[in-house]
Amino acid sequence: MKNAEKTTQDFKIKIKNIQKQKLTLLKEAMISIAVCNKTLSTLKKKVEDYDFETIPKEIHFFKNIKSIPMSYLIYYTEMRSCELQKPKVGLQYQISYYEKELKRVNKFFHKNSDFVHYMELGHTYLDHQFFSRTHRSKFPVSPLTDYYQFPEFSTSHDMLWAKVKAMYQFIHYLRESLEELKPGQTKIYEQKKHQVLVWTASKTALIELIYALYSDQCVNHGAADLKMITSSFEDFFNIKLDQIYKTYSEIKERRGSRTKFLDELIIHLQHKMDKEEGFEKT
């Protein structure tokens, strides 16, 4: 598909820039939804104009390319609805509302547990049925028309896959919202968890690792954005990472190797394996 990869890369940059602006959640959602729709329209036109040379290329597009802006569209649509419909007053009412939303998300994952399990294990043997339009009529399509759906621009499961990725982000939003309403509720748990695991390398090294994981889409099948991954690492290691974008810019400006920490990890792991193999031979 001509320039489809570049379209999604440009989309990610736009979303990242929007998130950097620290807007209100509603404003961030509204602006991002417009960017998502525009990107999907661009991809749809590319499909109409060029189509696919092979089935594997079609599968790759609907599984790995379209799902990126589609998942963000679903996430921001869900988040916007949540922000608009949540109770305006009453702490307990608001807490109850977010907890009900979490239950709704759990029901979604339970209902689609077989498909989620298939995707999380990295299986591909049903991809030709799930992510090509050839087999679309054999499967009931989930009623997700509130988001974005066109018959020639959809497969039987590409929308469902995008929603799975979106729900991972939505869970993070709900948990953060609950934490703001109930600060300190997880403090005891976090203290117990972090007494053993403390990040003792530099913060720059950790940010380098975070960007590596993000760029390779290693977390939540690529659905986790930088903010989510960074927040998770901060919670896990009980550390505060400030100005990650500035630090990343400084990493890119390094002379010599720009991936100093990752290079050291590779060297140390290889040295460990070589040493162990040497012991085994003797």
Of 184, 211, 241, the residue that ends a domain is: 184
DSSP class of residue 63 equals I
pLDDT in the model for residue 151: 66
pLDDT in the model for residue 2: 66
pLDDT in the model for residue 170: 93
pLDDT in the model for residue 143: 43
pLDDT in the model for residue 1: 60
**Single pTM value for the model:** 0.68
Judge whether 197 and 237 are in contact, CB under 8 Å. Answer: yes
pLDDT in the model for residue 78: 95
Judge whether 78 and 33 are in contact, CB under 8 Å. Answer: no
**Do residues 82 and 212 share a domain?**
no
- Using a 10 angstrom Cβ sphere, with 0-12 exposed, 13-18 middle and 19 or more buried, the burial of residue 59 is buried
Query: What size, in residues, is the chain?
Result: 282
Q: Which residues contact 80 (CB under 8 A, 6 or more apart)?
A: 25, 26, 29, 30, 33
- The domain containing residue 248 runs over which residues? 186-282
**Do residues 178 and 270 share a domain?**
no
Instruction: Give per-10-residue mean pLDDT for the chain (282 aa).
Output: 85 93 93 95 89 89 93 95 91 91 91 88 89 66 51 85 93 90 56 57 91 87 82 80 89 90 92 79 46
Number of independent structural domains in the chain: 2
